[in-house]
Amino acid sequence: MAPVRVGEGERLRSVGLPGVTLSIRSRRPAREGLPPALYVHGLGGSSQNWSELMAQLDGAVDSEALDLPGFGDSPPPDDGDYSVTGHARAVIRHLDAAGRGPVHLFGNSLGGAVTTRVAAVRPDLVRTLTLVSPALPELRIQRTAAPTALLGVPGVAALFTRLTKEWTAEQRVRGVLGLCYGDPARVSSEAFQYAVEELERRLQLPYFWDAMARSARGIVNAYTLGGQHGLWRQAERVLAPTLLIYGGRDQLVAFRMARKAAHSFRDSRLLSLPDAGHVAMMEYPEVVAAAFRELLSDTAQAGTGATRASGVDGVTVPGAGS
């Protein structure tokens, strides 16, 4: 089996925690004393999804990205719990064990739901929260998102595996890029080949489809929870300054949810990228990095007593990164 790719300036390590082992991708800090940051990927992703943004933020934060249990290079959790709460528990265990908190916490898609829960239940661990297309409940999901939701139905993953057994890794990656990117042409041939090699590696893992199906089911179940455990209710409880990033071409999280999110998180700012899809931190890492640096600067000023406006700050960046 091919090894996991480690980018220039990165290193991987394995961390054993109660009930779970996590693979952690990190970069050497540009200097001592930088505030810590932690990045959490989405369904089917891995810590590699954050490599470009982490490089962009060298000198601003001390970056770590984890592979959620069953994804990337992390083995399945001992208890088989792939719920949003289970993944959040793994993030909390890592932060508690590492003693790095409070951190600047980032989440994309499933990772956005996970980090929202972490920020709500453990505010002591979170300095700021940056959410890229977070998977928060929608009453009416987009048709293009339906197959992902169906993956959580028992038996569907096995059926899909049988129906697509002749598909090559290249075909699968092209399908994922078409679903996740606003413009798949932005992906370089080198990055495409890396994605193919990584998928080929992960398809050999005996738990690959189980982790996908159970985590998809975890998202669906989280969407149906009400009361204090509902994700929107927990979003309202988040105390950390929050940067929300939504893509106008997102086929998995509806762009229309941006305004609801901006009003739900009490101290939020909204960055709208009309040309981005579901993974803006991979499509437009420079733009996302600039928005986070502004958040970082504003929160630092607030900490020294400077006046800072709270509430919703909506910014639309047309043709970002073009």
Contact predicate 227/112, CB 8 Å: no
Tell me whether residue 276 is in a domain: yes
Placement of tokens 């640096």 in the chain: 293
Tell me whether residue 4 is in a domain: no
Segment 309-315 shows an average pLDDT of: 44
Q: How confident is the model at residue 3 (pLDDT cuts 50, 70, 90)?
A: confident
Tell me whether residue 5 is in a domain: no
Tell me the β-bridge partners of 105. 38, 129
Segment 225-232 shows an average pLDDT of: 85
Tell me whether residue 1 is in a domain: no
Tell me whether residue 3 is in a domain: no
Residue 55: predicted pLDDT: 97
Residue 72 sits in a domain whose CATH number is: 3.40.50.1820
Give pLDDT tens digits for 202-225: 989 999 999 999 999 999 899 888
Mean pLDDT of the chain: 88
Placement of tokens 């009400």 in the chain: 226
Rg of the chain, C-alpha, whole Å? 18
Tell me whether residue 106 is in a domain: yes
Segment 24-42 shows an average pLDDT of: 94
Tell me whether residue 33 is in a domain: yes
Give pLDDT tens digits for 102-152: 999 999 999 999 999 999 999 999 999 999 999 999 866 666 655 565 555
Give the domain range for residue 156: 10-316
d(CA 291, CA 101): 22
Which pair of tokens denotes residue 256?
């229309």
Contact predicate 95/69, CB 8 Å: no
Q: What is the number of structural domains in the chain?
A: 1
Q: How confident is the model at residue 229 (pLDDT cuts 50, 70, 90)?
A: confident
d(CA 69, CA 77): 6
